[in-house]
Amino acid sequence: MAPLTTSYFSSAGEVAVFDWPANTVVGRRPLTDVWNGLPAEFSAGVDAAVDLGAGMLYVFRGPAYVRIPTATDQVDEGYPLPIAGMWPGVVFDAVDAAMNWGDGKVYFFRGAQYARYDIAADRQDPGYPKDVSVGWRGVDPAWVAGGIHGAVNTGTGRAYLFQGAEYVALDWHAKAQLPGYPLPVADHWPGVMGPVEAAWSHAAPAPAGGPATAGAADFYHRYHAFAEPGEAHLGVPVLVTLGQAALESDWGRSAPGNNFFGIKARATDPEESRQLLRTREVLRRPDATFPEVISVTPLPDGSFEYVVRDWFRRYASPEESFTHHARFLRDNSRYAAAFDHSDDPYAFARAVAAAGYATDPRYADILTGRMRELEASR
């Protein structure tokens, strides 16, 4: 199966059609034009929708749901039906979001919790519901406290959770949030307007065992030429540069101001070369200062998770960002030890992580995972 080409976002009774290859919304339609026979109470908006992979879309609003064959977009007779009693084991009285994980499981979200549903067994798995921030490492409990309003699995190793005007990106294999989130939907999903009330798509496949994806191949071929001078002239392996760019920018989807590497700026830098962005930091002290501190959460290991706004570099082009990244590593004495491993990209990456490139303690593992995807895609 191929990765998704289309996803759908609803707000205020309207559906925006998002084209993944074009990376933009390509059309808008009222809900009543998308599905025929939609009950009147569903017409003003829906809470969630999910495709179980058998040609049926299930659409939820309040305590009820309808079933819609994707071949006809006509609501089946006999619906709506109550959620209670029709989805064995699910204790939620309503569903805020739903996502097919592509491995035979569906996730239903309600408030700050979620339940995992086994499609083949037609029942909720034991041990649920659980907190979203527990099931997906790195998701801020304070952020998820407002509930998840939409969820999309792309089939490329990435999934996204939406809450109103913000979203986070998840690593499918690690089942963990990527660094640097949440981010504003409006800045990174061209054409998606208004707070997201629901998101869905046709069932996406599960990336098998972390192989290369179409997204990795496209990213490699699009940006490797920008990384080559850094290896040839400064000793920064191409694979490390591309891995960091893919990780920090979510495969190029989140590179505000062409900053592909999450490189910080100073408040004293020229205004045109800096931008204030929301980010996540993990520090050992509870009193660090930033331009804006949104939240500070103690972690079990004694460190503190910060959600802040901080200054980041802004670049005129992606190529300028790649060039500055290589020079940033070469000229910064804290990364000197990494250059003992210029012939071993994975050792180089681990040395950069150990030197403190990012505050996330999982950074080395996540970075080398991206590098393996890119290496396999060539």
Per-residue confidence (pLDDT) for residue 273, from 0 to 100: 93
For 355, other C-beta atoms within 10 Å of its C-beta total 15
pTM equals: 0.60
Per-residue confidence (pLDDT) for residue 186, from 0 to 100: 85
Non-local CB neighbours of 301 within 8 Å, separated by 6+ positions: none
Tell me how far the alpha carbon of residue 227 is from its chain's centroid: 24
Question: pLDDT by residue for the chain (378 residues), tens digit each?
Answer: 455 678 999 988 889 999 887 778 899 999 889 899 999 989 888 999 999 887 889 999 999 999 999 889 999 999 999 998 889 989 899 999 999 988 888 999 999 999 999 888 888 998 899 999 988 888 999 999 989 999 998 877 789 999 988 999 988 877 888 888 888 888 888 888 878 999 998 887 666 444 344 468 778 888 999 999 999 999 999 999 999 999 988 888 778 888 999 889 999 999 999 998 888 888 989 999 999 998 899 988 899 988 888 999 999 889 999 999 999 999 999 999 999 999 999 999 999 999 999 878 888 888 988 888 888 766
Average pLDDT, the chain: 88
Q: CA of 75: how far to CAs of 10, 50, 94, 315, in Å?
A: 18, 14, 19, 49
Distance from C-alpha of 166 to C-alpha of 297, rounded to nearest angstrom = 20
Per-residue confidence (pLDDT) for residue 24, from 0 to 100: 86
Per-residue confidence (pLDDT) for residue 277, from 0 to 100: 87
Distance from C-alpha of 171 to C-alpha of 161, rounded to nearest angstrom = 11
DSSP lists the bridge partners of residue 361 as: none
User: What is the signed CA dihedral for 105, 371, 18, 11, rounded to 10 degrees?
Assistant: 60
Per-residue confidence (pLDDT) for residue 211, from 0 to 100: 38
Q: What value does the CA radius of gyration of the chain take, rounded to a whole number of Å?
A: 22
Token pair 């910060």 is found at: 306
Burial of 21: CB neighbours in 10 Å, binned 0-12, 13-18, 19+: exposed
Distance from C-alpha of 349 to C-alpha of 341, rounded to nearest angstrom = 9
The phi and psi torsions of 359 (rounded to 5 degrees) equal -85, -15
Tell me the Ramachandran region of residue 132: left when phi exceeds 0, alpha when psi lies from -120 to 50, beta otherwise.
Answer: alpha
Token pair 């990012």 is found at: 358
Q: What does the H/E/C string look like for the chain? A: CCCCCEEEEEECCEEEEEECCCCEEEEEEEHHHHCECCCHHHCCCCCEEEECCCCEEEEEECCEEEEEECCCCECCCCCCEECCCCCCCCCCCCCCEEEECCCCEEEEEECCEEEEEECCCCEECCCCCEEHHHHCECCCHHHHCCCCCEEEECCCCEEEEEEECEEEEEECCCCEECCCCCEEHHHHCCCCCCCECEEEECCCCCCCCCCCCHHHHHHHHHHHHHHHHHHHHHCCCHHHHHHHHHHHHCCCCCCHHHCCCCCECCCCCCHHHEEEEEEEEEECCCCCCCCEEEEEEECCCCCEEEEEEEEEECCCCHHHHHHHHHHHHHHCHHHHHHHHHCCCHHHHHHHHHHCCCCCCCCHHHHHHHHHHHHHHHC
User: What is the signed CA dihedral for 222, 228, 231, 232, rounded to 10 degrees?
Assistant: 180
Non-local CB neighbours of 343 within 8 Å, separated by 6+ positions: none
DSSP lists the bridge partners of residue 111 as: none
